[in-house]
């Protein structure tokens, strides 16, 4: 698997160590990024970090005052979906900016 024609186990291990280091650096960079998704009615926002972890959710009093469960659920879904799309695009852009992972076609 690691050997083969012209392959060197030591070089492969070195490359794997470098890749592991790149992943750790990238994870650190991504966790520092924030992506905000806002519902279409602009009454709810969700913030995700670059590792797709929810950092916060903000609900305007106006939305709560409406006492409309379906509207609240829809607003959460819209804001989360937008934040997730932005986070995924941001993570891909960050990965590309850091050189990707050459040996993996990324």
Is the pLDDT confidence value at 3 over 60? no
Q: State the average pLDDT over residues 73-96.
A: 92
**pLDDT score, position 65:** 96
**Which pLDDT band holds residue 97 (cuts at 50, 70, 90)?**
confident
State the virtual CA torsion across 57, 23, 32, 79 in degrees, nearest 10.
Answer: -30
**What's the pTM value of the predicted model, to 2 decimals?**
0.72
In the chain, the domains with their CATH numbers are 29-97 (3.30.1310.10)
Is the pLDDT confidence value at 104 over 80? no
The model's pLDDT over 46-79, given as tens digits with 9 standing for 90+, comes to 999 988 999 999 999 999 999 999 999 999 999 9
Q: What is the 3-state secondary structure (H, E, C) of the chain?
A: CCCCCCCCHHHHHHHHHHHHHHHHHHHHHHHCCEEEEECCCCCEEEEEECCCCEEEEEECHHHHHCCCHHHHHHHHHHHHHHHHHHHHHHHHHHHHHCCCCHHHCC
């Amino acid at each position: 698997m690691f050997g083969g024609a012209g392959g060197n186990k030591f070089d492969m291990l070195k490359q794997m160590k470098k890749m592991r280091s790149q992943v750790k650096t990238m994870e650190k960079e991504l966790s520092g990024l924030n992506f905000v998704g806002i519902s279409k009615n602009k009454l709810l926002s969700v913030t995700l970090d670059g590792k797709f972890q929810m950092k916060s959710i903000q609900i305007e009093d106006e939305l709560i005052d409406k006492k409309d469960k379906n509207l609240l659920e829809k607003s959460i879904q819209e804001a989360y979906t937008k934040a997730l799309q932005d986070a995924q695009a941001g993570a891909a852009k960050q990965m590309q900016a850091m050189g990707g992972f050459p040996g993996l076609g990324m």
